[in-house]
Structure 1
Amino acid sequence: MKTVQIAVFASGEGTNFRRLVESERADELGCGHIALLVSDKPHSGAVSYAREMGIATFAHTHKELLGKEQWELAILEEMQKRTIDLIVLAGYMRIIGTKVIEAYTKRMINLHPSLLPAFKGLDAIGQALAAQVKETGVTIHYVDADLDAGPIIAQQRVPLEPSDTYEQVARRIQRVEHELLPRVVKQWCEKETR
């Protein structure tokens, strides 16, 4: 069976990246293989963890590579070298440019901490709390040229209580992300190899 080569994009501590690596090592990603971590923050927790685990990294700021366009060309070259089949955006805090989107149409998924189309963009948890809604959730969707607007692959609800703090909601959302993301990645890989 073909191995599906996966690049994970992460900007921060990389808890979802860690979860995917753990899932692969526990044989829970099917034919999926985490081949590359891409980060715009060379000193992030995600990059440290990838290096610790022996996973290839592409960790450069846009400034280091003389702007977003050069960064995108460099990352496309890196992914072609590694024959990347799927991109998973897991806590990646930059908007992806059209060159990468076009090269990976229907092969790039994003993890977003709300029930899209509600609360797009940054600080979705803060937006949900400010709106005083009864629930929020997690969405995994395909990436297209519009922000958090691509076709939805999976969603899971997370109830909210009036007394909830930001931290409580963030922890509940993260638990759901850690369960939902590996499952969706595994399903995508299985479908790809059929």
Structure 2
Amino acid sequence: MPTISILGSGNGTNAQALIDAIESETLPATIGCIISDVKDAPILQRAQRHHLPAYHVDCAPSPHALRDTAEATVLDRLAQHQTDYVILAGFMRIIKANLLATYPHRIINIHPSLLPAFPGLDAGRQAFEARVSQTGCTVHYVDAGIDTGKIILQQPVTIDPTDTLETLMQKIHAAEHQAYPAALRKIFPQS
């Protein structure tokens, strides 16, 4: 059974979906630790409620990337918890070369669009403003690009004419909570 560690910056609802899937035994994995670049992020509180190791890694002053010292700390924590896969769940930092080299084809991200459409930040808003009829979410491997890694699974979401940006984002989040565990079940070795 693989050990996953989760990196996140925000509320941690995707992390919660993974925790729930593991606890209900629908995802054959264990959680090593949860790491956040935001000191008071709700994702850390979720980890603590489930008695999971939780760590804050200071990335200041860099607004978008992991500093070398922060990356080294993350790598140490991942190794300490014998991490097999690194799962990004709303982690708003660019993953650097050392982390990619240490976990080749074992860093996985979820993005709130049907890639390659609407990569980068504010994908839901981009789709909403483009007035497309469909968006969704994509679970993909992380590579050196931004949202360019090999796609594992996509789950479409219809944009209804009555949707607001808020209702669309709720639909995308609901799709993510289903897609992430499904994608990991697809790639994890079966026991």
TM over 0.5: yes
Q: Which of residues 43, 51, 54 in structure 2 aligns to 1:54?
A: 51
Residue 75 of structure 2: aligned partner? 76
Residue 7 in structure 1 maps to residue 13 in structure 2: no
Matches within 5 A, 1:34-183: 34-63=31-60, 68-183=67-182
Contact 2:32/2:78 (8 A) holds in 1 = no
CA distance in 1, matches of 2:50, 2:39: 16
Tell me the CA shift for residue 102 of structure 1.
Answer: 1.4
CA distance in 2, matches of 1:20, 1:129: 27
TM superposition score normalised by structure 1: 0.92
2:75 aligned counterpart, secondary structure? helix
Structure 1 counterpart of 2:20, which letter?
A: E
1:190 aligned counterpart, secondary structure? coil
Q: Deviations over 1:62-107 (max 9, x none)?
A: 139xx71100011111111211000111111111111111111110
RMSD of the alignment, in Å? 1.4
> Which segments of structure 1 move beyond 3 Å, counting only runs of 4 or more?
none
Unaligned stretches of 5+ in structure 1? none
1:154 aligned counterpart, secondary structure? strand
Contact 1:125/1:166 (8 A) holds in 2 = yes
Contact 1:58/1:75 (8 A) holds in 2 = no
Q: Deviations over 1:138-179 (max 9, x none)?
A: 100000000000000100111112331111111111111111
Report % sequence identity: 35
Structure 1 counterpart of 2:131, which letter?
A: Q
TM superposition score normalised by structure 2: 0.93
Aligned residue pair count: 187
CA distance in 1, matches of 2:187, 2:173: 21
